[in-house]
């Protein structure tokens, strides 16, 4: 018996990293996954990697920051899957910028993708989620609650995801719908690669962070997301799951 047999899941950011690993994990456990991403190539790679799973996957290109695209995407997912049981918001972007170089354009895009994109998918999916078993998992970040230099705007956008998720959990609890923010620490994906750190910054701070369990593979975060989305977590809502390999103990 797979945990996600017959479960219909919409996953954003499924064209790379944590979102791809999550889509693959859910398909391997029987889910029907509607995978969303900006990258057509990324979605195609995810779909071909999932070919042997017992579940199935359908991809759609969309910008999560585009309200019209989000509305159309949720409609398409409902039509394709016959409903949505679980929403997993993973799509996100990162900018590493010292405070003196922060631009309004950078801040607006970070919030548009990370925060507003997440909020729009929640708003649009909620009318379709079943009372008593619907689940939303929103990927925040350990940066939402722990300071990191040059990450002010990113951290603010993720802190907003965390706060949004906790309040949403309170708002929809009467329907028996769970909302779980998952906050990864450092994960080996393109988003966290060295290219996101401008070369002239003092990065010695990062060298001092000790993660006893090292950097995560995306599959390790996918495992936490799958748990949060499953019936194994039926009593879990409105609580952050921080999966950071012990970086802050
Ligand atoms: N990698 C880390 O260390 C880390 C740590 C904490 C939190 N996170 C969060 O995890 C999530 C996934 O990141 P990842 O590390 O897998 O990175 P990634 O770059 O591998 O994947 C992000 C995916 O989101 C997609 N995306 C970006 N903007 C989009 C948009 N506007 N519309 C649709 N899709 C969009 C990208 O195309 C990409 O496929 C992000 O929300 C990120 O902030 C990552």
User: Does the pLDDT at position 73 exceed 90?
Assistant: yes
Pocket test for ligand 1, best of 19, 46, 64, 92 (most atoms within 8 A of CB): 92
Cβ < 6 A, ligand 1 pocket: 13, 15-19, 37-39, 42, 63-65, 90-94, 113, 117, 139, 141, 184, 186-187, 189-192, 218
Span 224-243, mean pLDDT?
Answer: 98
Residue 202's pLDDT is: 87
Range of the domain at 118: 8-243
Out of 23, 43, 91, mutate this one to test ligand 1's pocket (max ligand atoms within 8 Å of CB): namely 91
pLDDT confidence band for 191 (50 / 70 / 90): very high
Which CATH number covers residue 83? 3.40.50.720
Considering the domain boundaries, does residue 47 fall inside one?
yes
- DSSP string for 205-239: HHHH---TT-SBPHHHHHHHHHHHHSGGGTT--S-
| Residue 159 included in any domain | yes
Atom 40 of ligand 1, residue of closest alpha carbon? 92
Can you give the pLDDT at residue 210? 80
What lies within 8 Å, CB to CB, of 165 at 6+ separation is: 136, 138, 140, 179, 180, 181, 238, 240
| Contact present, 175 and 134 (Cβ < 8 Å) | yes
113 alpha carbon – ligand 1 mean position (Å): 10
What mean pLDDT do residues 134-159 have? 97
- The answer to whether position 158 is within a domain reads yes
Give pLDDT tens digits for 104-114: 999 999 999 99
Q: Does residue 193 have a pLDDT over 80?
A: no
1 domain-assigned: no
Count of Cβ atoms closer than 10 Å to residue 10 Cβ: 29
The verdict on whether 154 is a catalytic residue reads yes
Residue with tokens 């409609």: 75
Residue 230 is assigned to a structural domain of this protein? yes
- pLDDT at position 123: 99
The pLDDT value recorded for residue 248 is 86
pLDDT value at position 203? 84
Evaluate if residue 194 carries a pLDDT over 90.
Answer: no
Q: Is residue 28 part of a domain?
A: yes
Q: Flag whether pLDDT at 37 surpasses 80.
A: yes
pLDDT of 211 reads 85
Give a yes or no: residue 50 inside a domain.
Answer: yes
The tally of domains found in the chain comes to: 1
Reported as half-sphere exposure (CB side, CA atoms, 13 A), residue 112 has a value of: 12
As a whole number of angstroms, the distance between CA 111 and CA 131 comes to 29
Q: Specify if 3 maps to a domain.
A: no
pLDDT at residue 151 greater than cutoff 90: yes
User: Ligand 1 centre and the CA of 57: distance in Å?
Assistant: 19
Q: Is the pLDDT of residue 58 over 80?
A: yes
Q: Residues 150, 154, 206, 235: which is the catalytic one?
A: 154
């Amino acid at each position: 018996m797979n945990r996600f047999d017959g479960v219909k899941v919409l996953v954003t950011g499924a064209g790379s990293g944590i979102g791809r690993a999550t889509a693959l994990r859910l398909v391997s456990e029987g889910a029907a996954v509607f995978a969303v991403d900006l990258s057509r190539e990324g979605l195609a790679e995810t779909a071909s990697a999932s070919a042997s799973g017992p579940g199935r996957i359908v991809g759609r290109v969309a910008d999560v920051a585009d309200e019209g695209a989000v509305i159309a995407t949720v409609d398409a997912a409902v039509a394709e899957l016959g409903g949505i049981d679980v929403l997993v918001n993973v799509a996100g972007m990162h900018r590493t910028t010292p405070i003196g170089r922060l631009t309004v354009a950078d801040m607006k895009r970070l919030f548009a993708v990370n925060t507003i994109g997440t909020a729009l998918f929640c708003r649009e999916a909620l009318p379709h989620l079943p009372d008593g078993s619907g689940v939303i998992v929103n990927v925040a970040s350990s940066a939402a609650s722990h300071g990191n230099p040059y990450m002010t705007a990113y951290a603010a956008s993720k802190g907003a995801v965390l706060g949004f998720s906790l309040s949403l959990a309170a708002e929809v609890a009467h329907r028996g719908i769970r909302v779980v923010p998952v906050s990864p620490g450092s994960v080996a994906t393109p988003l966290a690669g060295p290219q996101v750190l401008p070369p002239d910054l003092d990065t010695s701070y990062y060298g001092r962070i000790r993660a006893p369990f090292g950097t995560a593979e995306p599959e390790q975060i996918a495992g936490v997301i799958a748990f949060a989305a499953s019936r194994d977590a039926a009593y879990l809502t409105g609580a952050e799951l921080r999966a950071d390999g012990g970086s802050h103990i």
